[in-house]
Amino acid sequence: MLTPTLTREQVAKILQCSHAELGQLLRAKRCPLPVRVEGAARWFEDEVTAAAPGVTAALERVRHRRTSRGSS
Protein backbone atom coordinates (compact mmCIF):
# COMPACT_ATOMS: atom_id res chain seq x y z
CA MET A 1 0.00 0.00 0.00
CA LEU A 2 1.28 3.46 -0.87
CA THR A 3 1.63 5.98 1.89
CA PRO A 4 1.57 9.74 1.39
CA THR A 5 4.95 11.16 2.33
CA LEU A 6 5.22 14.77 1.09
CA THR A 7 4.66 17.73 3.38
CA ARG A 8 3.23 21.10 2.34
CA GLU A 9 6.75 22.54 2.22
CA GLN A 10 7.92 19.80 -0.14
CA VAL A 11 4.88 20.16 -2.41
CA ALA A 12 5.41 23.92 -2.66
CA LYS A 13 9.03 23.31 -3.62
CA ILE A 14 8.15 20.71 -6.28
CA LEU A 15 5.46 22.95 -7.78
CA GLN A 16 7.75 26.01 -7.47
CA CYS A 17 5.20 28.16 -5.69
CA SER A 18 4.72 29.90 -2.37
CA HIS A 19 2.53 28.57 0.42
CA ALA A 20 -0.09 31.23 -0.38
CA GLU A 21 -0.15 30.24 -4.05
CA LEU A 22 -0.43 26.58 -3.04
CA GLY A 23 -3.43 27.51 -0.89
CA GLN A 24 -5.09 29.21 -3.86
CA LEU A 25 -4.43 26.17 -6.06
CA LEU A 26 -5.89 23.87 -3.41
CA ARG A 27 -9.03 26.00 -3.01
CA ALA A 28 -9.55 25.94 -6.77
CA LYS A 29 -8.73 22.19 -6.85
CA ARG A 30 -6.04 22.82 -9.47
CA CYS A 31 -3.48 20.56 -7.79
CA PRO A 32 -3.56 17.22 -5.98
CA LEU A 33 -5.40 17.40 -2.69
CA PRO A 34 -3.79 16.13 0.51
CA VAL A 35 -4.93 13.30 2.71
CA ARG A 36 -4.84 13.31 6.51
CA VAL A 37 -2.41 10.95 8.19
CA GLU A 38 -2.56 11.12 11.97
CA GLY A 39 -3.86 14.67 11.72
CA ALA A 40 -1.15 15.91 9.33
CA ALA A 41 -1.79 16.80 5.68
CA ARG A 42 0.34 14.67 3.35
CA TRP A 43 0.52 14.26 -0.42
CA PHE A 44 1.37 11.28 -2.61
CA GLU A 45 4.64 11.95 -4.42
CA ASP A 46 3.57 10.32 -7.69
CA GLU A 47 0.41 12.47 -7.87
CA VAL A 48 2.33 15.70 -7.28
CA THR A 49 5.05 14.98 -9.83
CA ALA A 50 2.49 13.88 -12.44
CA ALA A 51 0.40 17.03 -11.91
CA ALA A 52 3.34 19.47 -11.89
CA PRO A 53 3.21 20.44 -15.61
CA GLY A 54 -0.54 21.17 -15.49
CA VAL A 55 -0.25 23.03 -12.22
CA THR A 56 2.38 25.31 -13.77
CA ALA A 57 -0.19 26.67 -16.24
CA ALA A 58 -2.75 27.25 -13.49
CA LEU A 59 -0.08 28.94 -11.38
CA GLU A 60 0.78 31.31 -14.23
CA ARG A 61 -2.89 32.35 -14.44
CA VAL A 62 -2.95 33.01 -10.68
CA ARG A 63 0.21 35.09 -10.91
CA HIS A 64 -1.05 37.01 -13.95
CA ARG A 65 -4.34 37.85 -12.22
CA ARG A 66 -2.47 39.08 -9.16
CA THR A 67 -0.15 41.36 -11.17
CA SER A 68 -2.95 42.72 -13.36
CA ARG A 69 -5.04 43.60 -10.28
CA GLY A 70 -2.11 45.42 -8.71
CA SER A 71 -1.46 47.63 -11.75
CA SER A 72 -5.02 48.98 -11.98
At 59-71, the pLDDT tens digits run 988 889 888 887 6
Instruction: Give the sign of the dihedral formed by CA 30, CA 50, CA 22, CA 34.
Output: positive
- For position 1, what pLDDT does the model report? 64
Query: What does the chain come to in residues?
Result: 72
pLDDT tens-digit series, residues 22-40: 999 999 999 999 999 999 9
- For position 3, what pLDDT does the model report? 85
Q: Which residues pair with 6 in a beta bridge?
A: 43
Question: Which residues fall within 8 angstroms of residue 35, CB to CB, at 6 or more apart?
Answer: 4, 41, 42, 43, 44
Query: Does residue 6 contact residue 48 with C-beta atoms inside 8 Å?
Result: yes
pLDDT tens-digit series, residues 39-55: 999 999 999 999 999 99
Instruction: Give the sign of the dihedral formed by CA 57, CA 10, CA 33, CA 45.
Output: positive
